[in-house]
Amino acid sequence: MRKYLKHSLFLVAIGAFYCCSNDDSKQDNPETQPVKEASLSLKLASDFTVSRYNAVTIEPQVLIENADAELAKYKWTVKVTGTGGAVKDSVIGDAKNLQFITAIAANYTVDLTVTLGKLVKQASTKVTVSETGKTYTSKALSLIDYIPAPSYNLDSYSFTTKAEVLEQVKSDLVEGNAVPLGTFGGSITTAFDHTVVNAYGKRDFKIQMNEDSGNSKVSPVSVYVAYDANKNGIGDDNEWYEIAGSEYNKSTTVKNYEITYNKPNAGKAAVTGTKDWQFDKEYLKWTDNKTASGFITRTKKWRRYNYYPQWMGESYTLKGTKIYLPVKDVSDGEGTTYNIGTFEWGYGGIRDPSIDISWAVDSNGKKVHLPGIDFVKVYVSTYAEAGATDLVTNFFTHVEDLNFPKAIK
């Protein structure tokens, strides 16, 4: 009897163990939950008002559930009348929020299409753009600053104060005269009387340099732009962005380059070189922030010209991105004839000097989206000498809005 009881208790224990094991097994395998379908909803405010050449931000209310919001694609369009009177949709943006800006006062219907996989939602809003009562010009003729780098052609600006120089440059801009920039770092900053619109998929403005440079060798020029976001009429330090052209990411390009030019000693005897054109090969000393130093040679042809801007004191430093410019002596080492290279796109002084505002990047090289620009800084981003023909420089003429309405020019 006692043996039978022990055997019974053993079977009960085994059964209880398996029951517990089966219960645990059920807990580890819960029922599969049904997959929730993605959903997308979209709303826009019914209307907006703004004046021409000013931006208004349109922020849609987009609700995405059960899907990754980062996968959503946005397309903003506006109705435009093409050739022959045909009305069509023109794409004006592809980001979630739109900064709407236009040069023409009118009533606009702005449509937004949001696509998320197979889901598509659309919404529309009205934008009323009013007149400003002002007249505008296509060119940036308002001078903000001018700091040239050394060059023989600065002799025409034989002033002792910056105020005198700025007055002369202002006059040159209005009259369409070429303004010398010199070698690396030489710059001019001008302002438009309106915001140049960042037209989607188009180039927006062009840099016009001197078309007739005679025997001088010219360099391409780099560009900075600024949008006056706070409307204070100033290109604030945190509003400037560089146009990243074809050379920006090349290994030969030097970011944050600085060069210091020192005023020549007028009483120093000239140090002639081995070539006839080397009138003074130790004329103007320079140093940079990469531990390099050297001299600008005063050539025989321009020996009576003053290369150094007299209003700049004993020395001054210029900064920017330095770009390698191919320069080749094709006169069997005599230094009398040179071939000068060029850049592909994104610069002034090249075959196509038109610029897309969408090429702008911040100080870290990250693309930025600007609704437009108000200020442009053009500067020589190369340092090169071409023997007897002297420094490779350039002359600025003007900056022009490419999409300026023809009817109101």
CATH number at residue 77: 2.60.40.10
Q: Is the pLDDT of residue 9 over 90?
A: no
Domain count, the chain: 2
Cβ atoms of 360 and 241 within 8 Å: the answer is yes
Q: Is residue 300 located within the same domain as residue 232?
A: yes
pLDDT digits (tens, 9 = 90+) for 65-80: 999 999 999 999 998 8
Structure tokens at 173: 């801009």
The count of other CB atoms within 10 Å of the CB of residue 74 is 17
Among 3, 405, 350, residue whose Cα is nearest residue 206: 350
Last residue of a domain, one of 100, 130, 160: 130
Among 285, 289, 294, residue whose Cα is nearest residue 255: 289
Last residue of a domain, one of 83, 101, 130: 130
The count of other CB atoms within 10 Å of the CB of residue 178 is 18
**Average pLDDT estimate for 250-277:** 96
Cβ atoms of 317 and 216 within 8 Å: the answer is no
pLDDT of residue 81: 75
pTM of the full structure: 0.87
Rounded to 5 degrees, φ, ψ at 219 are: -105, 145
Among 139, 392, 368, 393, residue whose Cα is nearest residue 244: 368
d(CA 103, CA 377): 22
d(CA 143, CA 149): 17
Among 101, 184, 179, 166, residue whose Cα is nearest residue 401: 101
Average pLDDT, the chain: 90
DSSP bridge pairs for 375: 191, 226
Q: Which residues of 376-402 are buried (b: 16+ CB within 10 A; e: fewer)?
A: bbbbbbbbbbbbbbbbbbbbbbbbbbb
pLDDT digits (tens, 9 = 90+) for 89-118: 899 999 999 999 999 999 999 999 999 999
Residue with tokens 């016009």: 208
d(CA 275, CA 77): 63
Structure tokens at 14: 């085994």
- 85 confidence band (pLDDT: 50, 70, 90): confident
Last residue of a domain, one of 108, 130, 152: 130
One-letter identity of residue 123: A
d(CA 40, CA 115): 9
Q: Is residue 121 located within the same domain as residue 195?
A: no
Q: Is the pLDDT of residue 408 over 70?
A: no
Structure tokens at 44: 């826009």
Domain membership of residue 207 (yes or no) is yes
Instruction: Give residue 226's domain range.
Output: 142-408
User: Which residue has better confidence, 235 or 211?
Assistant: 235
